[in-house]
Amino acid sequence: MKTVIGLDKLRATRLSLDGIIGLVLTMGFLHEGHLSLIQRAKEECNHVIVSIFVNPTQFGVNEDLSKYPRDLERDLSLIEPLGVDLVWNPTPEIMYPTGYQTWVEVEAITRPLEGSMRPTHFKGVTTVVAKLFNAVQPHKAYFGQKDAQQAAVIRQMVRDLNFPVEINVCPTVREADGLAMSSRNKYLEGDNRKAATILFRALSAAKSAYESGERDAEALRVKMKEVLESESRAQMQYVSCADYDTLEELDVVKGKTLLSMAVLLGKTRLIDNFVLG
Ligand code: AMP
């Protein structure tokens, strides 16, 4: 496995690889969720490239950029056994050199949910993903269902800008108690870690109601809110029952639907979702 930092080295190594190239984009501090994307890419591609880059432009001014967990050595030791060909670990200066002034923005689909709480987030995400796609030129890219809106926004960007890359969305990997794996779970300690299962429990309650025949979207949102309110440590930011593709809030559930939520536990912000239908 080769690890490179500079763009020239990335390009040269990429050009030496034949066949179907799969890309997994990460911000590092890897866990089983990331590894599942790499394994899927390995199954479907001739070569796998992993990027590790904590992208500053997707963090808001008061967010956790400087505190975001990092451990490159550990990340490389987790990836090595999976048969990854190339790891690209660029610096912020390589991605955003002095004088940088080009941005990619997707419109309506970035505004609700995460966009309503983090207004500059998706502009940073779409810009860095477009840059990574251009630099690596993968045939396939792998994203996690955990970040459902991100996946929907990337699908939209790829359609709108004719990127020649196939987007694959892989299931959310969870801890035994249902908590969706996330690099930010590291911040959860003691009682907050225990309370963090409230997201999974709220989503599960709404899913059972749906499976019992409930199709009123507001009733499903209320169900999720009620469960979240039963955990005094949890501060709800939003709950949503929306169309899977457009992310518009629904009145009546029909077709593929996204149940999603964001919750603060102390200073740690958690998101999670289930897909219905
Ligand atoms: P991140 O490093 O948090 O930017 O995530 C990199 C990729 O891993 C994104 O496509 C995420 O959606 C995906 N990912 C993060 N957590 C999980 C998880 N628990 N299960 C599956 N994929 C995940």
Judge: domain 2-170, CATH 3.40.50.620. Answer: yes
The minimum-distance atom of ligand 1 relative to the CA of 150 is 12
Do you know the residue count of the chain?
277
- 183 CB near ligand 1 (under 6 Å): yes
Task: Report which of 79, 148, 153, 76 is spatially closest to residue 110, judged by C-alpha positions.
Answer: 153
- CB hemisphere CA count around 17 (13 angstroms): 24
3-state helix, strand, coil in the chain (%, to 5): 45, 20, 35
96 Cα to the center of ligand 1, angstroms: 23
- 33 CB near ligand 1 (under 6 Å): yes
CA distance 107 to 121: 12
pLDDT value at residue 120? 98
CA distance 228 to 214: 19
- 149 CB near ligand 1 (under 6 Å): no
- 179 CB near ligand 1 (under 6 Å): no
pLDDT value at residue 263? 98
Decide if 47 is catalytic.
no
- Domain definitions of the chain by residue range: 2-170, 183-276
Task: Report which of 64, 37, 65 is spatially closest to residue 50, judged by C-alpha positions.
Answer: 37
- 156 CB near ligand 1 (under 6 Å): no
Q: Measured at the alpha carbon of residue 203, what is the angle toward residues 109 and 239, in degrees to the nearest 5?
A: 45
- Residue among 23, 147, 157, 167 whose CB has most ligand 1 atoms within 8 A, to mutate: 147
The minimum-distance atom of ligand 1 relative to the CA of 34 is 8
pLDDT in tens, 184-208: 999 999 999 999 999 999 999 999 9
Q: Whose CA is nearest to atom 18 of ligand 1?
A: 33
CATH of domain 183-276: 3.30.1300.10
Same fold? 2-170, 183-276? no
pLDDT value at residue 221? 98
182 Cα to the center of ligand 1, angstroms: 7
Gyration radius of the chain over CA positions: 19
- Residue among 26, 31, 34, 126 whose CB has most ligand 1 atoms within 8 A, to mutate: 34
Q: What is the pLDDT along the chain (277 residues), one digit of tens a residue?
A: 999 999 999 999 999 999 999 999 999 999 999 999 999 999 999 999 999 999 999 999 989 899 999 999 999 999 999 999 999 999 999 999 999 999 999 999 999 999 999 999 999 999 999 999 999 999 999 999 999 999 999 999 999 999 999 999 999 999 999 999 999 999 999 999 999 999 999 999 999 999 999 999 999 999 999 999 999 999 999 999 999 999 999 999 999 999 999 999 999 999 999 999 9
How many angstroms separate the Cα of 54 from the Cα of each of 31, 60, 232? 15, 13, 32
- 27 CB near ligand 1 (under 6 Å): yes
Q: Could you give phi then psi for residue 242, rounded to 5 degrees?
A: -130, 160
Dihedral of alpha carbons 193, 199, 205, 211, sign = negative
pLDDT value at residue 68? 95
Instruction: Please identify which of the residues 34, 47, 121, 139 carries the catalytic annotation.
Output: 34
- Cβ contact 154:126 at 8 Å: yes
pLDDT value at residue 73? 98
- Residue among 89, 146, 274 whose CB has most ligand 1 atoms within 8 A, to mutate: 146
257 sits in which H/E element: strand 257-265
